[in-house]
Structure 1
Amino acid sequence: MTQCAQLDQLVAACHWIGERGWAPATGGNMSLRQDEQTCLLSTSGKDKGSLTPDDFIQVEIATHRVPSGRKPSAETGLHTLIYRLFPDAGAVLHTHTVNSTVLSRVEQGAALVLQGYEMQKTLSGQHSHLDRVAIALFDNDQDIDALARRIERFAAAQPLRYGFLLRGHGLTCWGKDVNEARRHLEGLEFLFQCELQRRLLEKL
């Protein structure tokens, strides 16, 4: 698939995310790997539901440098971190949904563990509802470089798969391409909604 076609897929995914209210106001950011050295990242301060291909900015993965001088997302360092940590990652989606934001505050552990849901199989490599899927949780930080270092240290010690949650912030997930990242996002959001409702019902 050509890079132009991949970018078109990412724009379509952004519109799909916007229609669901998963990146309200100008929240969220999305990106696409171009090659080993660069990625295309959504510009800052725009509604993700109305992005066009021109709203994606080339960023150097190793340095965060933007050759064009345009302003990318404030969370550029998280996208470039994922591309450095996972050579197979081809696209990253960061959203601000109610389910992920609330669960990230309710769950006090280092990970949100999902188990017993058939829809776990929407995640690549998952084959049974009996498996445990742990989505890592990190405290939010306005210092993105410091946050990226914490995530990198975590990933060096234990597996970091599919995505991670930032407390009170939202979900960042990825895949080998736009379609897989989009499937992981949709699957995780369904699982988050189920888990949140399960916890609420247990308190009745």
Structure 2
Amino acid sequence: MTQPLHLEALVETCRWIGHKGWAPATGGNMSVREDARWCWLSESGRDKGSLTRDDFLQVEIATNTAPSGRRPSAETGLHTLIYRLFPEANAVLHVHTVNATVLSRIETSPLLRLQGYEMQKSLAGQQSHLDTVDIPLFDNDQDIAALAERIAQYAETTPLRYGFLLRGHGLTCWGRDVSEARRHLEGLEFLFECELRLRQLERK
């Protein structure tokens, strides 16, 4: 099997994520789409900051199975869900940043609403700080199939853009290519940190 050319860009992004400390203790998982049938997903239990191309497994999007017999990430079902929901998505990044994890715990509503930040324009389609960015929050679940089903049901009635938060878990985001997914990750992480600090100041 031939790995997609953009897998190298994902490997570089994983090293960047590892350097940032956004996927500690082998946490997190990343993938790229090969085509309508296949994606390449990071293998479970690998340190994300030192991944190579050999640490990615080909996974069938419809079935979550890896022909190699090796074990892909525990959250494989979330990656394949995004590829099924969004044909334009070609890269998915899932990280465990402190800002995303804490904010997902203190925001009690099912939606994190961001407004007034110039950096919202780092997200595709956002034109102004006056726009509103809505990031859904889903309760965490060790049953990934059940979690994926809840997210799929949400997406049937409500737009799902850029990414979503899992409570006490982290952020999953995506893009049309690795570069856009990386920009969305960095932009959202900046926005989360600003929002978290603002809320901390407002409590004083």
What's the TM-score once normalised by structure 2's chain length? Answer: 0.98
Q: Counterpart amino acid of 1:80?
A: T
**Aligned residue pairs, count:** 203
Match of 1:56 in 2: 56
1:88 aligns with 2:78: no
Deviation, 1:65, is 1.4
Q: Deviations over 1:127-149 (max 9, x none)?
A: 00001100000000000000000
* 4+ residue runs over 6 A deviation: none
Distance 2:127 2:200 in 1: 27
Match of 1:144 in 2: 144
Q: Counterpart amino acid of 1:99?
A: N
Tell me how large the CA RMSD over aligned residues is.
1.0
Q: Counterpart amino acid of 1:89?
A: A
Distance 2:89 2:4 in 1: 18
Distance 2:65 2:72 in 1: 10
Q: Counterpart amino acid of 1:152?
A: A
Distance 1:98 1:144 in 2: 22
Q: Counterpart amino acid of 1:180?
A: E
Gaps of 5+ in 1: none
Match of 1:130 in 2: 130
Match of 1:155 in 2: 155
Deviation, 1:102, is 0.1
**SS of corresponding position for 2:6:** helix
1:9 aligns with 2:9: yes
**SS of corresponding position for 1:5:** coil
Q: Counterpart amino acid of 1:70?
A: R
Q: Counterpart amino acid of 1:110?
A: P
Distance 2:139 2:24 in 1: 21
Match of 2:183 in 1: 183
**SS of corresponding position for 1:25:** helix
Distance 1:65 1:102 in 2: 32
Distance 1:3 1:43 in 2: 15
Q: Counterpart amino acid of 1:170?
A: G
Deviation, 1:3, is 5.8
Gaps of 5+ in 2: none
Deviation, 1:5, is 3.4
Identity of aligned residues (%): 72
Q: Deviations over 1:157-190 (max 9, x none)?
A: 1100000000000000000000000000000000
What's the TM-score once normalised by structure 1's chain length? Answer: 0.98
**SS of corresponding position for 1:133:** strand
- 2:4–2:34 CA contact under 8 A, matched in 1: no
Q: Counterpart amino acid of 1:63?
A: T
CA gap 1:72/1:63 in 2 versus in 1, 3 angstroms: same
